[in-house]
Amino acid sequence: MSGRLHGRVAVVSGAANGLGKAAALRLAREGAHIEILDIKDASQAVSEIRELGVQAHSIICDCTDEAQVDRAVKEIDARHGVVDILVNNAGILTARKPWLTLTKEEVNRFVQINYIGYFVVTKAFYPLIKKSKTPRIIMVASRTYFLANPGQMAYVASKGAVMGMMRVLAKELGDDGIPVNAAMPGMVATPGTQEHSQDEAFNRVMGNQAIKKRVTPEHFAGLIAFLASDDAELITGQMILCDGGGYLH
């Protein structure tokens, strides 16, 4: 398979479903070999990816657990010896809940999965990413950080922390030539969002966009593939939205 990511090795967390799966399929379509980390079984995604003619594997892995992530690093090191593209995507979403009703445990759960998980995975894969001639780190974040949606404090805070991590890493990893960016989707229908939101909510969000078209996982996957490509070599420390102009900086 040829393509602009031909032969590169991409690790995508949370790619059993939703945005991660779409990103993994798109990177594969552009020629990358795919390694999926997910707490859920990702064998369906793996077989769809293999049909595209690239290598694909999935590892059951809780991204917040250092021992499990280290085991995944060893397995991928043995298979490929390098990681060119890391897409931190595994996360949890939420129904709206007034901040005063949140418990410390609930807030901590969002911080652990959505923020600490990205840190654990990035730190563990760094030695393999450093070996790449075309390294990329992409953090899937959320524009809710800008929107500051009432009722989403724990989620928004965890995703805001991801932006902070991304900005500092972009500077710290500059000497290694590793671009680090955050990609943010609009509200996209996925198993995660559909647990809490119905069609009416997706249409309402679309109604607030400049371009009134539902954002799909495939739209977002296109942004991920661009950030992974050679064209994005000098794009780093950026927060890029794919939301049809629903939020303008």
Footprint on this chain of ligand NAD (rule: CB under 6 A): 13-14, 16-20, 37-40, 61-64, 89-93, 113, 117, 140, 142, 185, 187-188, 190-193
Token duo for residue 94: 């939420």
- Cα–Cα distance between 43 and 161 in angstroms, integer? 31
Q: Which helix (H) or strand (E) holds 107?
A: helix 104-110
Terminal-to-terminal C-alpha distance of the chain: 38
Nearer to ligand NAD, 42 or 170 (CB): 42
Phi, psi of 164 (to 5 degrees): -60, -45
Q: H or E segment at 138? A: strand 136-140
- Residue among 4 and 97 whose Cβ is closer to ligand NAD: 97
**Judged by CB, which is closer to ligand NAD: 40, or 50?**
40
8 A C-beta contact, residue 246 and residue 188: no
Q: Which sequence positions are flagged as catalytic?
A: 155
> Could you give the CA distance from residue 204 to residue 187 in angstroms, rounded to a whole number?
10
Looking up tokens 């966009």 gives 209
Taking CA atoms, 189 is separated from 93, 137, 177, 214, in Å, by 12, 24, 35, 9
Nearer to ligand NAD, 62 or 106 (CB): 62
- Taken in order 137, 196, 201, 191, the sign of the CA dihedral is positive
β partners of residue 217: none
Cβ pair 146, 247 in contact under 8 A: yes
- CB closer to ligand NAD out of 122 and 142: 142
